[in-house]
Structure 1
């Protein structure tokens, strides 16, 4: 069984300095009440943790409502239909790509209305762009379209591969009063198809990314997001997630937060 020593040592340094890490959990691609989704929700309840579920509006099945009715769940908007709209040869993107921003927002508005009708107060208007990519022009108009935040992947306010969250890797400029609440540790790798990234690699990356915060190489106040994809987990992924959540929940340096709190407490630019 893989040792968590490296992660424990990093968290111990946070504790020794009297600091805590705000942690949150996002899961993507919810469309129906699958056995995998049931397993995920049961895990969150067993560990008594808040969970944000990114649902794909155009593909939602009626039984998704009951599957996401448990306390502690927040529903986010995962694009519209999770369809690649990139220009030929471009990186996969739905929130932008080879079409005008007005066409993107026409879909997103329809998706938001559907999620509001379906989930009511459990829905939080935070956009999770498919493939964690969004065109800068679309991102810049999110607040006026009613979104309270954007959740992509990588350190916020830091350019670099994946960290910016735009379709071309350029830094994103979000409008005032639109929070950036990103994920930072994906349990899966995607090259060649989804697969478990491996316990050793994930523990190392987790510790390194927390060290970056502690030493202010990235935003030290940014919440740290764990990213899962319930439909693509194998048994190794589920087993590691169970152990990781148990380990984190017992460490004094970790403070699990619901995304509703993180959005409300996000600094206003």
Structure 2
């Protein structure tokens, strides 16, 4: 693959550089539960390219084996991915674990249990970041999250902004590389175009970090190839930075303390409105 297929992205990164600005990217990978060949591939790829990663782990099935696998990898941070990743929404509604269909107390208790378990497993690797399953959360739950220990929430696109929270920061991902209708990677040219568009919006707007969303367990060859190429292209561009989970949280909290700059009113088209089968 030649750099030409990424020219729009390269040009946009050059606009950042020539403007004296530093684009910040971050990687979030969801549905982590246990060691696997796919997780090994993700970890090898990110380590080879020095890319930090936030792993959204599902607490209920999270294992001691996972703790041991991640123990010596400094660039990994763990986010809480609900409790069991079970859908409790009625038939016909968008999938949701963090809705209040079963009552507020049950959801709060499960999240509390999840944070406790992940803290026992991962200690300082655990971030105070909540990643709602299916990127979906009931607004009425938000005021209770700070008391559980969360400082920030991450969903997809513009589904949640700081305008809708009080004690919580928001640090969203913007590009889901998986097409959940086909369970294949989105077309590479489309991904490059959407990422370039998001970078342009951030350069002209709030300059916040841009999140890339992956799901290692469902990656096809095209998904792995896209990540390799993305890492290579961005690392060649002077000033472009992939930030780790600690810097991500610091940035999110600092930005939340400033006057709100609403995110775009509509999310980019590449997988940003996931189908109900999406994770």
TM-score normalized by structure 1? 0.89
What is residue 249 of structure 1 aligned with on the other side?
235
Task: Quote the offset at 1:187 in angstroms.
Answer: 1.0
SS of the equivalent of 1:63 reads helix
Indicate which of 146, 152, 155 corresponds to 1:152: 155
SS of the equivalent of 2:164 reads coil
SS of the equivalent of 1:4 reads helix
What is residue 224 of structure 1 aligned with on the other side?
210
Q: Deviations over 1:11-36 (max 9, x none)?
A: 11111111111111110001110000
- Residues 76 and 245 in structure 2, CA contact (< 8 A), matched pair in contact too: no
How do 1:1-269 and structure 2 match up within 5 A? 1=1, 3-69=5-71, 70-154=73-157, 163-165=158-160, 173-176=164-167, 178-191=168-181, 193-216=182-205, 220-265=206-251, 266-267=253-254, 268-269=256-257
Q: Mean Cα displacement is larger for which, 81-90 or 26-35?
A: 81-90
Q: Mean Cα displacement is larger for which, 63-72 or 121-130?
A: 63-72
Task: Quote the offset at 1:172 in angstroms.
Answer: 6.2
- Residues 184 and 224 in structure 1, CA contact (< 8 A), matched pair in contact too: yes
Q: Mean Cα displacement is larger for which, 121-130 or 91-100?
A: 91-100
- Residues 93 and 131 in structure 1, CA contact (< 8 A), matched pair in contact too: yes
Q: Deviations over 1:39-78 (max 9, x none)?
A: 1011111111211101000122331112222121101111
Task: Quote the offset at 1:97 in angstroms.
Answer: 4.7
TM-score normalized by structure 2? 0.86
SS of the equivalent of 1:76 reads strand
Q: Which runs of 5+ in 1 are unaligned?
A: 155-162
Show structure 1 runs of 4+ deviating over 3 A. none
Task: Quote the offset at 1:165 in angstroms.
Answer: 4.1
What is residue 160 of structure 1 aligned with on the other side?
none
- Residues 24 and 241 in structure 2, CA contact (< 8 A), matched pair in contact too: yes
Give aligned pairs, total. 252
Q: Which runs of 5+ in 2 are unaligned?
A: 258-279
- Residues 160 and 170 in structure 2, CA contact (< 8 A), matched pair in contact too: no
SS of the equivalent of 1:91 reads coil
- Residues 185 and 227 in structure 1, CA contact (< 8 A), matched pair in contact too: yes
State how far apart, in whole Å, the 2-side matches of 1:172 and 1:62 are: 38
State how far apart, in whole Å, the 2-side matches of 1:64 and 1:58 are: 12
Q: CA RMSD in A?
A: 1.6
- Residues 87 and 97 in structure 1, CA contact (< 8 A), matched pair in contact too: no
